[in-house]
Amino acid sequence: MLQLPDSWSWDFWIFKTENTYELFFLYASKALHQEERRHRRAQIGRATSTDLRNWTRLPDAVVRSDAPAPDDVATWTGSTIAAPDGSYHMYYTGCSDRPAPNTQRVLRATSQDMLHWDKDEEFVLEADPRWYEKAGEGEWFDEAWRDPWVFFNEDTGLWHMLVTARAQQGESHERGVIGMVTSPDLEDWTIQPPITAPGGGFGQLEVNQVELVDGRWVDIFCCLASEMAPRKRETASGGGTWLAFGESMTGPFDIDNAVQLTDSTGYAGRIVQDFEGQWQFLAFKSWVDGQFRGELSDPIPLSHILESGKPHTFTA
């Protein structure tokens, strides 16, 4: 478990090397007192582990930039890859109040050693209004264009980026989609139509992750109860993390029939294959017994959650 005495931590992602798990996580000081203020103070911290339980904290990876910049409010969730040239690329969300409050863009930082990160100030990806809802265009509270998950697709020879996004059409709490961006070389990126359709019962599909688990492609995502369609709230155990099965690594994914992995006590779940080959599930502990925990859970075998047939509940 990663528990910071003076800060809340929440969304995270893990890059696995030959012998360590490299953790990137959002955090903000508890001196804010009100946990809802943490989002606009978020920065990206770092830690490493050999067992997914005991973590050694390292210097922070990325913090917000001075204004004006696309991340001058906060730095939010992303993913990390090893590039073909031997460097590391971190794709993350930048939050700014320009041109509208909580405007979100996908940004990039690079590193040679995964300890020292340099922002690429020329790299900025914005939602394309041909397919995606922009800030101020609908009834939603902010623009959704964040949480980039990047991977290489050998079948297409392209790099793919999944993005939390919202469609231009549909009832507000049904517009959540998985956006797609592609690149042949990690330099030239093209915004594509979403790989899922609106109408799955979610206003947002946050923190997507695609993996091949036991021969089946899965997408892991999360959504708060307040951001779900009424019909979905009636059958779900509050907000939490879901798993949807897909036909390939780029979908389509059966979002409407996704399996709920956690209730509202755990959020922004991720899966990682441990060094023994077993898929482990981790999430950040959210609201437990009426208190916001803001800490990373210990790993749970994904198979145990799926076999239980019910969402996992975290305890303090």
* Residue 314 falls inside a structural domain: no
Q: Are strands 145-153 and 74-82 parallel, antiparallel or unpaired?
A: unpaired
- Give, in order, the Cα–Cα distances in Å from 129 to each of 107, 144, 205, 222: 18, 12, 18, 24
Structure tokens at 154: 């050998």
Cα dihedral 114/118/121/123 (nearest 10): -20
DSSP sequence for 107-154? EEEEESSSSS-EE-TT--B---TTTBPPTTSSSSSS--EEEEEEEEET
DSSP code of residue 304: H
Decide: helix, strand or coil at residue 316.
coil
Q: Is residue 204 within 8 Å of 144, Cβ to Cβ?
A: yes
Distance between CA 179 and CA 171 in Å, rounded? 18
* Residue 201 falls inside a structural domain: yes
Distance between CA 10 and CA 296 in Å, rounded? 7
Q: Any idea what the CATH number is for the domain that residue 214 is in?
A: 2.115.10.20
* Residue 132 falls inside a structural domain: yes
What digits encode the pLDDT tens for the residues 184-221?
999 999 999 999 999 999 999 999 999 999 999 999 99
Phi, psi (degrees; rounded to nearest 5) at 243: -125, 125
* Residue 28 falls inside a structural domain: yes
Q: What is the pTM of this model?
A: 0.97
Q: What pLDDT does residue 136 have?
A: 75
* Residue 313 falls inside a structural domain: no
Going residue by residue through the chain, which has 316 residues, state the pLDDT in tens, using 9 for 90 and above.
Answer: 899 999 999 999 999 999 999 999 999 999 999 999 999 999 999 999 999 999 999 999 999 999 999 999 999 999 999 999 999 999 999 999 999 899 999 999 999 999 999 999 999 999 999 999 998 777 788 889 999 999 999 999 999 999 999 999 999 999 999 999 999 999 999 999 999 999 999 999 999 999 999 999 999 999 999 999 999 999 898 999 999 999 999 999 999 999 999 999 999 999 999 999 999 999 999 999 999 999 999 999 999 999 999 999 999 8
What is the number of structural domains in the chain? Answer: 1
Q: Is residue 271 within 8 Å of 279, Cβ to Cβ?
A: yes
| Residue 227 domain boundaries | 7-308
Q: Are strands 7-16 and 21-29 parallel, antiparallel or unpaired?
A: antiparallel
Distance from the first to the final alpha carbon of the chain = 11
Phi, psi (degrees; rounded to nearest 5) at 70: -70, -10
What are 282's strand-pairing partners?
270
Which residue is associated with the tokens 């956006």?
179
Q: Which amino acid is at 268?
A: A
Phi, psi (degrees; rounded to nearest 5) at 37: -80, -10
Q: What pLDDT does residue 135 have?
A: 80
Cα 315 to its chain centre, rounded Å, is 22
Q: Is residue 265 within 8 Å of 248, Cβ to Cβ?
A: no
Distance between CA 24 and CA 11 in Å, rounded? 9
Please give the radius of gyration of the chain, using alpha carbons only, rounded to the nearest integer. 18
* Residue 207 falls inside a structural domain: yes
* Residue 1 falls inside a structural domain: no
Q: What's the CA angle centered on 36, arms 30 and 42, to 5 degrees?
A: 65
Distance between CA 22 and CA 2 in Å, rounded? 13
Number of H helices, E strands in the chain: 2, 20
* Residue 136 falls inside a structural domain: yes
